Amino acid sequence: MYQTFIGLEVHIHLLTKTKVFCDCRSAFGDEPNTNICPVCMGYPGVLPALNIEAMRMGCTMARSLQCRIPERTWFERKQYFYPDMTKNYQISQFASPLGQEGRIELEGKNIKKTVRIRECHLEEDAGKMIHTGTVSLLDYNRAGVALLEIVTEPDMESGEEAELFIQQLRRMVRYLGICDGNMEEGSLRADANISINLPGKGLGKKVEIKNLNSSRFVRLSLNYEQERQAACLDAGKIIVQETRLWNENRDQTETMRTKENANDYRYFPEPDLPVFTPDREFLKSVDAALVELPRERFHRFQAEYKLSDEQADLICEEKAFADYFESTVEAVLASSGKITLDKAGAAQKVSNWLLSDIKHLLSRENMPLADIGSLKLTARRLAQLVFLVAEGQLSNKNAKQTLEFVLAEDKDPSSIIKEKGWSQISDPVVIKDAVEKVYAAEESTFSEVRAALANGNQKRIATLTAFLVGKVLAETRGRANPEIAGKVLNERIKEL
């Protein structure tokens, strides 16, 4: 009965080698206060210098969010005091964010909508305050690390939509290679703004939930807040404009501070940094960094490889995983042998391998999907395996074993199959030999089949035939192609 408005402010740590305005290492987990210098500590008289790589990554993201990059973009000082910031101001962007007025298409189960991006701007992170017992410690390694802030318009309406936004954004930055997207370590964090109002009345009084470090918390806290605010209005109370925090132990939001008026940060242009004018060369380098984004790839995979929604989504989760899929399919299609697979056929086989065996294998080895490229089972080797099975040269069971040996011995599947003598027997003449041996040993079973055939007991026929196929496989140490073994066996039975 109320209308809900949700806008997100997402901060992402850019994967630059050095900080945004100095040459200090930009790294997570180093010994505290080892990556600092007079510039990021804000000593008097020092001069910041823009890290062009940070600007490039920021603009790459801005373009990927279909933002406009202005002809001139500059920095401001945002003034406030906090112990984790020795300068007493943060260099940020206020009047001329590097990316303006973009959009992202949300697409998920039961969700399909456009969310407008208000802006993307570049700024520096602050240090980290660590509270232990009675003292607070300060680690300034993070001070000056490049942050990109992405601000949406209040276009979302539920916790689910906001969660999906974060998930899509996370995939995007990982595809672009500009952020590791690790929310637990704080590389990607969100502030969520929410208000509700009677339909048609426009935005309500907004509450901001700060510092959410998982997409699940974004959903839970917003849905909690939506209900809290509705109950508040239902009871005839007014909603206080405030900043709240998500308490993950109590599954509720709690007041952090109430701000009656907007903070006055006294923004003014940073006098030590020149205005940045993206020239043609810079814009070309931004273009060069653009990639096919996850959602585009998802749609292409459905159209080109006839993958289902679920398959395409799972395969596109990581760029490296999707790249590996495409390379494998390509290599399968380039293989020559008795059979020819079409693209969709090859894609189904590769997808089945990737989403079951290979995924299990990665998790067993404790390897993230993104590291699939470093597997000893290269795309070319997987393609060989898939093709040998499709050709009937290798049984499924032996294929799985071959996979293990490829990993352990770093060899091609074809060499392992040769060494182990696993190549499947498809020659009917050879299989016939095995059938005759089984006949000699299992005459009584064959008589039973004959009897079952005479009185048309289909169930019994099936059971006995399956038993005999098993015997033929055993006779060939599992190498006979089961389908052909079945055919040869049936012919032999007919001859009885």
Q: Which of 135, 235, 238, 262 lies at the binding interface for ligand ADP (CB under 6 A)?
A: 262
Residue type, 455: N
Nearest-approach distance from CB 48 to Zn ion, in angstroms: 9
Nearest-approach distance from CB 219 to ligand ADP, in angstroms: 16
Nearest-approach distance from CB 9 to ligand ADP, in angstroms: 5
Helix axes 343-353, 294-305, angle to 10 degrees: 120
214 secondary structure, DSSP code: S
Strands 242-247 and 207-212: parallel
| Cross-strand bridge partners of residue 78 | 90
Binding of ligand ADP at residue 203 (CB under 6 A)?
Answer: yes
Q: Which of 40, 67, 194, 416 lies at the binding interface for Zn ion (CB under 5 A)?
A: 40
Q: How far apart are CA 485 and CA 19, in angstroms?
A: 66
What the block records as the tokens of 159 is: 């916790």
Binders of ligand ADP among 331-370, rule CB under 6 A?
A: none
Choose among ligand ADP, Zn ion, none what residue 22 binds, the Cβ cut-off being 5 to 8 Å by kind. Answer: Zn ion
Instruction: Give the closest residue to 187 by CA, choosing from 207, 209, 166.
Output: 166
In the bound state with Zn ion, the residue whose beta carbon lies nearer, of 146 and 354, is: 146
In the bound state with ligand ADP, the residue whose beta carbon lies nearer, of 209 and 329, is: 209
232 burial level (CB within 10 Å; 0-12, 13-18, 19+): middle
Binding of ligand ADP at residue 226 (CB under 6 A)?
Answer: no
Binders of ligand ADP among 8-27, rule CB under 6 A?
A: 8-9
- The SS3 call for residue 112 is strand
* Residues 18/154, Cβ–Cβ less than 8 Å: no
Binding of ligand ADP at residue 180 (CB under 6 A)?
Answer: no
From 6-14, 61-69, 121-129, 416-424, give the range in contact with ligand ADP by CB under 6 A.
6-14
Q: Which of 7, 48, 97, 159 lies at the binding interface for ligand ADP (CB under 6 A)?
A: 7
> Within 10 Å of residue 178's Cβ, how many Cβ atoms?
25
* Residues 345/387, Cβ–Cβ less than 8 Å: no
Binding of ligand ADP at residue 195 (CB under 6 A)?
Answer: yes
Q: How far apart are CA 176 and CA 270, in angstroms?
A: 29
Q: Which residue has the tokens 């603009």?
A: 59
From 189-197, 347-355, 473-481, 483-491, give the range in contact with ligand ADP by CB under 6 A.
189-197
Binding of ligand ADP at residue 57 (CB under 6 A)?
Answer: no
328 secondary structure, DSSP code: H
* Residues 334/285, Cβ–Cβ less than 8 Å: no
Choose among Zn ion, ligand ADP, none what residue 194 binds, the Cβ cut-off being 5 to 8 Å by kind. Answer: ligand ADP
> Whose CB is nearest to ligand ADP?
7
Binding track over 118-157 against ligand ADP, x by CB under 6 A: ---------------------------------xxxx---
Per-position b or e across 388-413, b if 16+ CB within 10 A of its CB: bbbebbbbeebbeebbebbeeeebbb
* Residues 30/1, Cβ–Cβ less than 8 Å: no
In the bound state with Zn ion, the residue whose beta carbon lies nearer, of 127 and 278, is: 127
Choose among ligand ADP, Zn ion, none what residue 206 binds, the Cβ cut-off being 5 to 8 Å by kind. Answer: ligand ADP
Strands 111-124 and 146-152: antiparallel
For 398, the enclosing helix (H) or strand (E) is helix 396-409
Binding of Zn ion at residue 37 (CB under 5 A)?
Answer: yes
From 96-104, 202-210, 335-343, 422-430, give the range in contact with ligand ADP by CB under 6 A.
202-210
Nearest-approach distance from CB 191 to ligand ADP, in angstroms: 8
Phi, psi of 121 (to 5 degrees): -140, 155
Nearest-approach distance from CB 194 to Zn ion, in angstroms: 37
Nearest-approach distance from CB 292 to ligand ADP, in angstroms: 28
Choose among ligand ADP, Zn ion, none what residue 193 binds, the Cβ cut-off being 5 to 8 Å by kind. Answer: ligand ADP
With contacts defined by CB under 6 A, how many residues of the chain interact with ligand ADP? 15
249 burial level (CB within 10 Å; 0-12, 13-18, 19+): exposed
Instruction: Give the closest residue to 123 by CA, choosing from 150, 101, 161.
Output: 150
Choose among ligand ADP, Zn ion, none what residue 24 binds, the Cβ cut-off being 5 to 8 Å by kind. Answer: Zn ion
In the bound state with ligand ADP, the residue whose beta carbon lies nearer, of 151 and 233, is: 151
The residues of the shown chain that bind Zn ion, judged by CB under 5 A, are: 22, 24, 37, 39-40
The residues of the shown chain that bind ligand ADP, judged by CB under 6 A, are: 5, 7-9, 151-154, 193-195, 203-204, 206, 262
